[in-house]
Amino acid sequence: MSAYPNAAVATAVTASVTASATSTDAAPTGADACCDGPLPVLGRDVTVPLVTGGEVTYAALDYAASAPALQRVWDDVAAYAPYYGSVHRGAGYLSQLSTDLFEQSRATVHEFLGCRPSDQVIFTRSTTDSLNLLAQVLPAGCQVFVFETEHHASLLPWRDARVTCLDAPRTPEQAVETLERALADRDPHGPALVCVTGASNVTGELWPVRELAAAAHAHGARIVLDAAQLAPHHPVSVTELDVDWVAFSGHKLYAPFGSGVLAGRADWLQEAEPYLAGGGASRKVTRRVGGEGAGGVDVEWHTTAARHEAGSPNVIGVYSIASACRALTEAGFDRLVAREQELVRRVREGLADVPEVRILSLFGDDAPRVGVISFVVDGWNSSHFAAALSAEYGIGVRDGLFCAHPLVRTLLGSGPQEPGECGAPEAAPGERSLNAIRVSFGAGTPDEHVERFVGAVRELVTDGAKWQYRTEEGRCVPAV
């Protein structure tokens, strides 16, 4: 920690942030923002051209991929930027101040996630990086249980372990029953890990995390929660959910700059070799007598979170995550959730009024969900439909298999070998292809964006596209 008192950080950084947030040009943030409306985000006034002529304010409805940065986060980062310095190993004032800010950010995330006192918060690059880190520290012989419905970030890192891939459940109760049966058949003496999402990145449906955690622990297994799609929409408490680890990404939590988090129990992390070897992870390095074997040196690794944070940390990315955690907490998750659920209702009811639209779901219409909805349209190639939404209406959605290929194949009723991949449709516009359309939104989404989206879907299905489209380098684009 810093040789300077933490008050120095409060004086130098917080005062600047306060001045920035209260300037006449700054949008209201945190508790001062109108929580009955969207939180201020960057890009809310960006206009884009339409192929049919003119411009329109861009409707960003691809939050599940990357959410726009909160204005509050951007202001906080801008206020800190003049004080930017190296972290942990610098003697100068700015380095010491940046180190304090980095470690305070760790404490903020620890509190945001409701971690246990002994839990560690490790900063990574993303959810994918966090889960690959955990995969690298699994004890020998560990068996991993994962549903086929997971995002690839949760499905693929365990390939060097003994993996049991579980069939897609059709109810939350079936998910728990499926896991319990699989765990009952495992070797009771070896280590085991369950990996499960909190909210699907395809259907938005919430998974029974607490019940799955109870089933895992009853059978001597541990559980890691992929909260990439849950944390931006709902409060997440490691303690209340009783999970062993949680992973999420800053870029989905309204925080840019490419940082992520793995938080939870320290023992497996501290018993394993560092995920990356290098400066920061090591406490002491000495040349071995004779200089032979194992790189010619002896290493004593850190036992703190630094063990898996080798290299120069992304202090701005880490600070942006902490800022987003504070902003969402201050805005109040109850209000944010209530408003988002109203948007979910409007979109689902609007799509249900179009007979050609089929919403994809595992658990059914009544399942609780976040602002992530995927669907297909009869008679349309999904990539063609998404391209028309963008080019003719200024609406940004996503099409493809959403890095959850087995799940989307299951929802579309296709065989595992049927052609299709993310962002690369084989079919021409108007022809069926193995892909879907995803609309996603959150705390920064204005009402007008979802209303424009629902109206555009209805108009495209009724009247067809106004422009011609072609496939170019795997993407459906307007024909020139």
Catalytic residue list: 403
Q: Which long-range contacts does 334-343 make (Cβ < 8 Å, 24+ apart)?
A: 335/35, 335/36, 336/35, 336/39, 336/233, 336/443, 337/233, 337/234, 339/35, 339/36, 339/37, 339/38, 339/443, 340/233, 340/370, 340/371, 340/441, 340/442, 340/443, 343/371, 343/441, 343/445, 343/447, 343/450
Dihedral sign for Cα atoms in the order 230, 236, 240, 242:
positive
Residue 152 one-letter amino acid: H
Alpha-carbon distance of 377 to 385, in angstroms, equals: 8
Alpha-carbon distance of 216 to 452, in angstroms, equals: 44
Q: Which of 206, 254, 213 is nearest to 227 (CA)?
A: 206
Alpha-carbon distance of 230 to 3, in angstroms, equals: 38
Please check whether residue 457 is in contact with residue 357, taking contact to mean a CB–CB distance below 8 angstroms: yes
DSSP state of 67: P
Alpha-carbon distance of 328 to 57, in angstroms, equals: 25
Instruction: State the Cα angle at 279 between 277 and 281, rounded to 5°.
Output: 60
3-class secondary structure, 284: strand
3-class secondary structure, 145: strand
Helix pair 315-331, 71-80: axis angle to 10 deg:
140
Please check whether residue 106 is in contact with residue 112, taking contact to mean a CB–CB distance below 8 angstroms: no
**What is the helix (H) or strand (E) element at residue 72, kind and residue range?**
helix 71-80
Q: Please, what is the end-to-end C-alpha distance for the chain in angstroms?
A: 59
Alpha-carbon distance of 476 to 480, in angstroms, equals: 12
Residue 360 one-letter amino acid: L
